């Protein structure tokens, strides 16, 4: 396995550990110390140089548990940065931060090893595609279409269905995606990693996927860096092979959280709400590498945990600024059983313009939003006086809105076994036809419950027949 010839290596050096604080290790060298970003080893424990604290001393991030490590232990510098294997050999594999196997098989055969810290593409090399990635999920395709070659965030607090929705997006898009897919698990549960690995094998799409994990039980340095390992592999397929890459990240907030943990251990002064002062820079270094170039595109879908459902939280606000589409999941809708719990009034996309999706799609989406917004305004009146006190026009608005809410629910393939349902994949054209039909009516023959958890509206006619 060859190394990338562009990686600069220094002469290996030896030092001794002088301090250990949590996941941070200070190392002193007899002569010149390694550069920031250099990979070091204290026995079997990998370290990355994060800060220079003296003429011959560095402060390092531990990339594994520091149990058994002691003062005075010998540390060797590798002379270069952390690298990961890239190439066809990583497809169908489950790997860690260093590209080492987690699936019990032999190490992947790769073309070469590339450094995980890389610059984003030059501005002159970037292109804007303005294409929509169809997902088959009605609420997303209608109200917050995903940009091919863009970044989409699934925002929500704990327990509103982010991981389930991301799993469904994987099921619906990976199978029909012509390029390579890459899943990166940052700080998530080990159970979810095992389930996803098994589900991708059963769906028959694992051979076109790479799966990288830095689980929540691992060192903060691993959780902070594993996203960069994933993007390095994605960039090889985009830049060298000229392929489109679909990158799915669960959960990007854990990357911010790991950075905050490391920042405190490194002794930096905390910023607003206790986050690291370098939050915006660290997030931009990761997000700006996800881009479309003349050779290929990286499309990213990222789950984003929102602490205490507070969308003004600095982490959520900074992530928002990088995205082309935001799918906001609502706890209120989840409590009403409206799954996926997509908030139609808070979700947005730069793709939802007449020039991109077409005038009809744009008009129907605006009509749906307007109807649901009017219903939201009428809820207080209904709660106090009852629906009988509304005018005929307002009652028709309520009837349309309640049916639209239920029509935008959908049974998922990924939870079909536990929910006892069969998943539906609905083309955009059928979603538009269904919403247009509901918006055009003032009276309805069918009760609103018939619109709940169906696919296309044509299923109602089929059920009646």
**Residues labelled as active-site residues:** 162, 188-189
Among candidates 337, 165, 139, which has minimal Cα distance to 250?
Answer: 165
The token pair at 362 is 């744009």
CA distances from 118 to 37, 139, 204, 433 (A): 11, 36, 32, 45
Burial state string for 200-235 with b = 16 or more CB within 10 A and e = fewer than 16:
beeeebbebbbbbbbbbebbbbbbbbbbbbbbbbbb
CB 305 within 8 A of CB 251: yes
- Indicate the burial class of 274 (C-beta count within 10 angstroms; 0-12, 13-18, 19 or more): exposed
H/E segment holding residue 317: helix 314-320
* C-alpha atoms less than 13 angstroms from C-alpha of 186 in its C-beta half-sphere: 30
DSSP, collapsed to helix, strand or coil, labels residue 430 as helix
How large is the greatest C-alpha to C-alpha distance in the chain, in angstroms?
85
Q: Which residues contact 297 (CB under 8 A, 6 or more apart)?
A: 129, 148, 149, 238, 244, 245, 291
Identify the three-state secondary structure at position 422. Answer: coil
């Amino acid at each position: 396995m060859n190394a990338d010839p562009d990686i600069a290596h220094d002469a290996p050096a030896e030092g001794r550990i002088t301090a250990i604080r949590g996941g941070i290790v200070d190392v002193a060298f007899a002569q010149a110390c390694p550069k920031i970003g250099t990979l070091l080893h204290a026995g079997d424990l990998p370290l990355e140089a994060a800060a220079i604290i003296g003429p011959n001393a560095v402060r390092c991030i531990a990339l594994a548990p520091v149990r058994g490590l002691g003062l005075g232990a010998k540390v060797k510098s590798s002379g270069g940065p952390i690298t990961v294997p890239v190439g066809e050999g990583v497809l169908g594999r489950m790997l860690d931060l260093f590209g080492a196997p987690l699936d019990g098989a032999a190490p992947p055969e790769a073309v070469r090893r590339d450094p995980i810290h890389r610059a984003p593409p030059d501005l002159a090399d970037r292109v804007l595609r303005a294409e929509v990635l169809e997902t088959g999920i009605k609420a997303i395709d209608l109200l917050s279409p995903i940009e091919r070659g863009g970044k989409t965030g699934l925002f929500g607090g704990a327990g509103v269905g982010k991981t389930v929705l991301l799993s469904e997006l994987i099921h619906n898009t990976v199978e029909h995606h012509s390029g390579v897919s890459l899943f990166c698990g940052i700080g998530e549960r080990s159970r979810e990693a095992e389930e996803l690995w098994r589900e991708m094998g059963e769906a028959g799409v694992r051979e076109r996927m790479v799966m990288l994990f830095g689980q929540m039980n691992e060192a903060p340095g691993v959780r902070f860096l594993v996203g960069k390992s994933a993007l390095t592999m994605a960039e090889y397929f985009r830049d060298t092979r000229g392929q489109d890459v679909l990158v799915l990240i669960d959960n990007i907030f854990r990357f911010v959280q790991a950075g905050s943990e490391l920042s405190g251990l490194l002794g930096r002064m905390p910023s607003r709400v206790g986050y690291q002062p370098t939050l915006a820079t660290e997030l931009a270094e990761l997000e700006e590498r996800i881009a479309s170039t003349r050779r290929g595109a990286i499309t990213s879908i990222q789950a984003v945990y929102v602490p205490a459902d507070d969308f003004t939280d600095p982490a959520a606000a900074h992530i928002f600024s990088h995205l082309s589409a935001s799918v906001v999941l609502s706890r209120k809708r989840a409590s009403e059983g409206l799954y996926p719990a997509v908030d139609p009034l808070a979700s947005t996309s730069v793709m939802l313009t007449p020039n991109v999706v077409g005038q009809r799609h744009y008009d129907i989406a605006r009509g749906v939003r307007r109807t649901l917004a009017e219903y939201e305004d009428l809820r207080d009146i209904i709660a106090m006086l009852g629906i009988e006190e509304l005018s005929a026009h307002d009652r028709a608005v309520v009837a349309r809105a309640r049916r639209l809410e239920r029509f935008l629910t959908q049974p998922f393939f990924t939870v079909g076994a536990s929910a006892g349902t069969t998943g539906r994949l609905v083309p955009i054209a059928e979603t538009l036809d269904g919403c247009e039909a509901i918006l055009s009516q003032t009276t309805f023959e069918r009760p609103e419950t018939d619109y709940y958890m169906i696919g296309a509206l044509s299923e109602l006619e089929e059920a009646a027949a």
